[in-house]
Amino acid sequence: MDRLVNTVRPYAWGSTTAIPELLGTAPTGEPQAEMWMGAHPGAPSRTERGPLNELIDADPVRELGERTVERFGPHLPFLFKVLAAGAPLSLQVHPDLDRARSGFAAEEAAGIPVDAPHRTYKDANHKPELICALTPFEGFCGFRAPADAADLIAALGVDSLKPYVDLLHAHPEEAALREVLTALLTADPEETAHTVAEATAAADRLGGAHAPYARLAHHYPSDPGVVAAMLLHHVRLKPGEALYLGAGVPHAYLDGLGVEIMANSDNVLRCGLTPKHVDVPELLKVVRFDPADPAVLRPEASPSGEEVYETPTDEFRLSRFVRAEGAGPTDLTVPTPQILLAVAGRPTAGELALAPGESVFVPAGERIQLTGAGTVFRATVAA
């Protein structure tokens, strides 16, 4: 078992205080957006034995177990994070596995450098993900029914948005959503900037259901993603609630602290709320335009005290243990690799006491017990 030293990524949208508060450290004044736990080559966790990715490369069966290597290859199949949003993240979707493989192969064949700003696929993997709130957490996820989106947009009273309102009343619903998103992302930038400015003023005046979109607009005052976000559900998570995001589901996080787990990929297709490249033709191949309620999850308790967030994804499994004073030890031994993250109290994993924000990597099959009071999240591979 290895105590992890993790990299905190300073993306501009990060909170300046949330991760320092979790870790019990002084804020630096700079944004601290994501703390990565895992073996992703972009920011692998470090241990006393060396970087975690190098440990796994040296002996994948020992670290990951035979079953994990047989199913996913000699790499840790998930990436675990603490995410702290202090400003909106980009509106985005992730590809399914087939689309990721074909898109990556096509860009490789075209000789596009992986770090090129117009490159879409960074790897050949999909990126389903799960975000679990540690504090009240706010975002946007999944398409509303088009008629509901039409009502929200129409209430702004902006003349240049009326054609979109009319389109949203057309059938079938999937085609209506596709046509509106395409029109928004391909409109003249100057006209879009004027429309967003009018929409922002109206949203500020109306407040209520329009207030979250006004907040977006103040961060991205001329971005078509402000209107595109009005096609999506506004979601508020309570601490302990989670949101599962499968392939093709548009989403954006707005504010809050959470733990996030995903397949080990960096494939993101952006729809807006970003100065980065938006690949509209490829995006339209990936987005799923079926309206659906957000997949808000609450943990399901087991007799062992483990609370599991069930998802259809094989690469990861997220659960938590909320332990009271005096609780007996819990055996956490499993035949898969796991990362344990403390978020409250001072529990002990094996012989290592964990303060909030501290984590350990446990190789597959290594015997380990959890003792002491506190809350611990466990990231591992689905059985």
∠310-240-96 over CA atoms, to 5°? 40
Phi, psi values for residue 24, rounded to 5°: 75, 30
- CA 35: distance to chain centroid? 13
DSSP 101-163: HHHHHHHHHTT--TT-TT---SSS----EEEEESS-EEEEEEEPPHHHHHHHHHTT--GGGHH
Question: Which residue intervals of 24-115 are DSSP H helices?
Answer: 52-58, 60-64, 66-72, 97-109
Quick check: 261 and 318 in contact, CB under 8 A? yes
CA dihedral over 102, 103, 106, 108, signed as positive or negative: negative
The residue among 263, 231, 230, 228 whose CA lies nearest residue 244 is 263
Structure tokens belonging to residue 176: 């209506």
∠138-82-248 over CA atoms, to 5°? 60
Contacts of 316 (CB under 8 A, 6+ apart): 77, 78, 130, 261, 262, 263, 379, 380, 381, 382
The residue among 257, 253, 256, 247 whose CA lies nearest residue 315 is 247
Distance from C-alpha of 223 to C-alpha of 243, rounded to nearest angstrom: 25
The bridge status of strand 338-345 relative to strand 359-362 is: antiparallel
- Tell me the β-bridge partners of 236: 138
H-helix or E-strand spanning residue 199: helix 189-206
How big is the chain by its Cα radius of gyration, in Å?
Answer: 22
Phi, psi values for residue 69, rounded to 5°: -65, -40
Active-site residues, by number, are 270
H-helix or E-strand spanning residue 212: helix 211-219
